[in-house]
Structure 1
Amino acid sequence: MSRTTPATLALTKAGVEFTVHAYDYDPDADSIGLAAAAALGEDPGRVLKTLMALVDGKPMLVIVPSDREVAMKKLAAAAGGKSAQMMKPADAERISGYKVGGISPFGQRKPLPAVIEADALAETYVYINGGQRGLQVRLDPNAAKAVLKAAAAQVSS
């Protein structure tokens, strides 16, 4: 497994401190995020999943703890829209340049608006996908928010 991905290159270029952590990816897991947390021996609240959604038909990134679900009404409100829905996996792969299960918010084909769960910013560190299945980057959640120019909001339930 390569530890250099568009995500790690983007973080390096942005001057963000991070460490890379590989684990055995299970494509059959009920929850990829929860499986990653278990494999890393971390609390699921510290292992964030990157989801791709559509708000009023426009793509955006949603970063939430792996043990939570996105509340679509909260997401739409946080993004200043009327409605939100999850993006179809094939569309998420085409737009992001990553495979589902390995979608990172960093180093995507083009920058997208992003929102990060506000609760995650209280953590001293979080894990976020590093751009391929079975690869996570550990970093300060506020650094992630800054480099993504993300909004912080309560978007999960």
Structure 2
Amino acid sequence: MSTGTPATQFLRAANIPFRVLEYKYDPGQERVALQAAEATGIPPGQLLKTLMLEVDNAPACAVLPGDKNLSMKLVASALGGKSAAMMPPEKAERLTGYRTGGISPFGQRRKVPVLFETSAMGFETVGINGGKRGVIVVLSPREACEALGAKAAPLCAEG
């Protein structure tokens, strides 16, 4: 990955230490984060997925463990909104500059509020999409959160 991605460029500019893992992306997989976890050897709870949302019709980003489900109620509450919904994939691609399956919270075209699931903050390192299908960046969740100006909050549905 000699040229990098907007995500890795963002991390370098923010002086955030990270390492890159690449894997063979399978577009036929239903749960991309779990496929990435298996391919990279990162435990599913430490491989974080990036989801683009709309909270009261405003864009937002949620970063949570790949083996967990997002609670729209918790996301809306964390951002002081009334309702949250998944952003349509085409809109997420236009907004972020990334293709689905390769959306990273780092280096998006437009800055939006970012939330990290609180449980992810307990790990020394996590894997997060590096801005391209098949690319994961491994870094400190606390440093990632700080670089993004993100907020840690409970985001996952129980069970």
Aligned to 2:35: 35
Cα deviation, 1:70-99, whole Å, max 9, x if unaligned, reads 100010001100000000000000000000
Tell me how far apart the structure 2 counterparts of residues 113 and 65 of structure 1 sit (CA, whole Å).
18
Q: Report if aligned partners of 2:42, 2:127 keep a CA contact under 8 Å in 1.
A: no
Q: Report if aligned partners of 1:7, 1:130 keep a CA contact under 8 Å in 2.
A: yes
Aligned-CA RMSD value:
0.9
- 1:6-85 equivalences under 5 Å are 6-85=6-85
Stretches of structure 1 lacking an aligned partner (at least 5 in a row):
none
Cα deviation, 1:84-116, whole Å, max 9, x if unaligned, reads 000000000000000000000000002110000
- 1:107-146 equivalences under 5 Å are 107-146=107-146
Secondary structure of the structure 1 residue equivalent to 2:63: strand
Q: What TM-score does the superposition give when structure 2 sets the normalisation length?
A: 0.97
Tell me how far apart the structure 2 counterparts of residues 111 and 3 of structure 1 sit (CA, whole Å).
22
Q: What TM-score does the superposition give when structure 1 sets the normalisation length?
A: 0.98
Q: How many aligned residue pairs are there?
A: 157
Q: Report if aligned partners of 1:3, 1:20 keep a CA contact under 8 Å in 2.
A: no
Q: Report if aligned partners of 2:114, 2:149 keep a CA contact under 8 Å in 1.
A: yes
Tell me how far apart the structure 1 counterparts of residues 63 and 131 of structure 2 sit (CA, whole Å).
14
Stretches of structure 2 lacking an aligned partner (at least 5 in a row):
none
Q: Report if aligned partners of 1:117, 1:152 keep a CA contact under 8 Å in 2.
A: yes
Please report how far the alpha carbon of residue 42 of structure 1 lies from its aligned counterpart in structure 2 after TM superposition: 1.6
One-letter amino acid of the counterpart of residue 119, structure 1: S
One-letter amino acid of the counterpart of residue 71, structure 1: S
